A and B are shown apart, each in its own frame.
Chain A
Amino acid sequence: MNKIKIRICVGTSCFVMGSAQIQSLEFNAPADIADHIEIVEERCMGLCREIAVKHNHGPFVFVDDELIESATYEKVVAKIREKLKKIS
């Protein structure tokens, strides 16, 4: 089975606003998902600038090709589980 690719934006805005904490997936991801994910650091993708509203909706994380705005650890884990369910 192909691993689910988690692309975490580590541009300054995303990193400061919380993607640094989402990186804990690298160290202690829940057992059910730990073996099925691959984590990639992504340089600023410019998404924060595309959004016209002030205080952009970062951190941005892609779970495969699905974008999560205002990403948190919980949101990312939930999305991964959802994907895993679909696959199996």
Chain B
Amino acid sequence: MLIPKNNANLMRTKILVRLASSYLENKFAEADRIPLELRPKDGEVSRCCVYKDRAVLKYRCMAGLGHCPDEETDELTTLKEYGQKALERRAAPKNKLSVIDIACSACIKSQYVITNVCRGCFAQPCRLNCPKEAISIVNGQAHIDPSKCVNCGKCYEVCPYHSVVKIPVPCEEACPVGAISKDEFGKEHIDAEKCISCGRCLASCPFGAVVERSQMIDVMREIKETDKKVVAMLAPAVAGQFSSSLEHLAGALKAFGFADVVEVAVGADITTQKEAAEFVERMEAGKPFMTTSCCPAYYRAAQIHIPEIRPFVSDTKTPMYYTAELLKQEHPDCVAVFIGPCLAKRAEAEYDPHVDYVLTFEELGAMLVAAGINVDDCPEVSFAQVSHAQGRQFPISGGVAGAVASLVGSKVDIRPEKIDGLTKDNIKLLKRYALKGGENNMLEVMCCEGGCVSGPGCIALSKKAARAVEAYAQSGDSLTVDKKAE
């Protein structure tokens, strides 16, 4: 979902790097300079003036420190103070996406508009097909009466001149579950009850107004200020994220201060085995189909928005769960930090007794840059437990279903389908499957189109990352069909 050539994303990375450096240098003593340095007086301006830019940057910095912008009680609270508050925290800040009020441009309500391209034709399909009789001809051109229009888009579909345009609200358009909407002033707000933390609004807002609480400072504090053993769990999507080998990256993490580094692909191997066995069991019990459960945004969407699908969602836990469970069995006192492409994992971690923190690749990147660590220069560190091809292919669309299918064996027939991207249309498709079934019996649902390699926390381009993941999967040994399951 990372849109290439996007200023809002680049600015977020810059903010995280500055915050990480500010912590490492002097524990935020000079943090209030960050907005000034990023928007110097004589530099370029992206909103009305440099001062508004800085005000927005301050809120974005707050989020980088793990505070929600709407937690603000006193506007004079400095970033230094917010930084110190962050260091006093002893548990991960709760996952929450929110909108920076002053950064939200209050886009005009999503609507269809007939442009001057309209030729005022004789056929008038727009007027005749409008179910609400909202279209009339004014001065030789079609015109939509906004009070009658229900945004169905019929006129848009039928106009032979393409004269009807849709003016969208990007965040609302992106949110698959209707969790973001306008208040009376046109500003967007996120309903935490409905939000599935997928991060689509954050990636799609052209004004960079959507932020979420980062846990980066908390993890750095655990590493630098406690004696605890902080262990990094690298999500399978990591291949390709740092343009270097995973062994070098593991070395870089150790150079930063992580005590150990493990691969979540190992947990994904376990998920594959358990999910394959579960699939066989369910099919033998006569169930029509099963869906995957490893995408946390989909899992939450199924719980609160698609109740019909709940009985068909696999009960197998996620790769993060199994990896953290193994880790805590071995080192009960360690601090387990999941590092991945996903924002919804932060919400999942709140229910996972073994996971302490969740970072994105972008946050990890910011930490390495701030510490002056170049991944390639770090000595290679190999993983104690090696993952297999199946677990490694999880982060690309079709990968999970493919992995499961490879272990199902010949006992039952598996017909996988990938639901690539949890869009509004795909939610309808899932509902239809729940009610009427369908051709396929194994549905892999990925909230991000293309799979986790397109997640909002990624650094690399999804196309390049997908290639790296494929290459890494191919270099791994394959799990074989479990004889017990056969």
Contact = CB atoms under 8 A, between A and B. Distances in A.
A16 B461 contact: no
Contact of A12 (B2, B14, B374): B374
Nearest to A11: B374
A26 to B, nearest CB: 8
B366 A23 contact: no
Nearest to A41: B243
Nearest to B464: A23
A55 B13 contact: no
B471 interface: no
A26 B366 CA distance: 25
B10 A12 contact: no
Nearest to A73: B5
Nearest to B460: A20
Interface string A21-41: 101101100000000000001
B374 A21 contact: no
Contacts of A16: 13, 17, 362, 365-366, 368-369, 459
A24 B369 contact: no
A20 B369 CA distance: 14
B376 interface: yes
B372 to A, nearest CB: 8
B5 A12 contact: no
B362 A44 contact: no
Contacts of B14: 17
Interface in A1-20: 10-13, 15-18, 20
Given A13-B369, A15-B243, A17-B369, A43 B459 contact: no
Interface residues of B, number: 31
A27 B463 contact: yes
B373 A12 contact: yes
Interface in B1-20: 2, 4-6, 9-10, 13-14, 17-18
A44 B377 contact: yes
B59 interface: no
Contacts of B2: 21
B243 A10 contact: yes
Using C-beta atoms within 8 Å of the partner chain, give the interface range for chain A.
20 to 34
B112 interface: no
Contacts of B463: 27
A12 B461 CA distance: 15
A20 B377 contact: no
Contacts, number: 71
Contacts of A54: 21
Nearest to B365: A16
A72 to B, nearest CB: 8
B97 to A, nearest CB: 23
B4 A24 contact: yes
A26 B13 CA distance: 22
Nearest to B371: A12
Given A12-B242, A12-B374, A15-B242, A27 B17 contact: no
Nearest to A58: B369
B21 to A, nearest CB: 8
B18 A55 contact: yes
A43 B248 CA distance: 13
Interface string A47-80: 0000000110000000000000000111000000
B17 A55 contact: yes
Interface string B16-30: 011001000000000
Contacts of A20: 243, 459-461, 464
B155 to A, nearest CB: 32
B369 A12 contact: yes
Contacts of B252: 12
A78 to B, nearest CB: 13
A27 B376 CA distance: 25
30 contacts: A10-B243, A12-B365, A12-B368, A12-B376, A13-B369, A13-B374, A15-B242, A15-B243, A15-B459, A16-B368, A17-B10, A17-B369, A20-B243, A20-B464, A21-B4, A21-B6, A21-B10, A23-B460, A23-B461, A23-B464, A24-B4, A24-B5, A24-B461, A26-B464, A27-B463, A41-B243, A43-B376, A44-B374, A55-B21, A55-B37
Interface of B: 2, 4-6, 9-10, 13-14, 17-18, 21, 37, 242-244, 252, 362, 365-366, 368-369, 373-377, 459-461, 463-464
Given A15-B242, A17-B10, 14 more contacts: A12-B373, A12-B374, A12-B375, A15-B460, A16-B365, A17-B14, A17-B17, A18-B13, A20-B459, A20-B460, A23-B464, A44-B377, A55-B37, A72-B10
Which A-B residue pairs are the 8 nearest by beta carbons? A16-B365, A10-B243, A24-B4, A73-B5, A12-B375, A21-B4, A12-B374, A13-B369
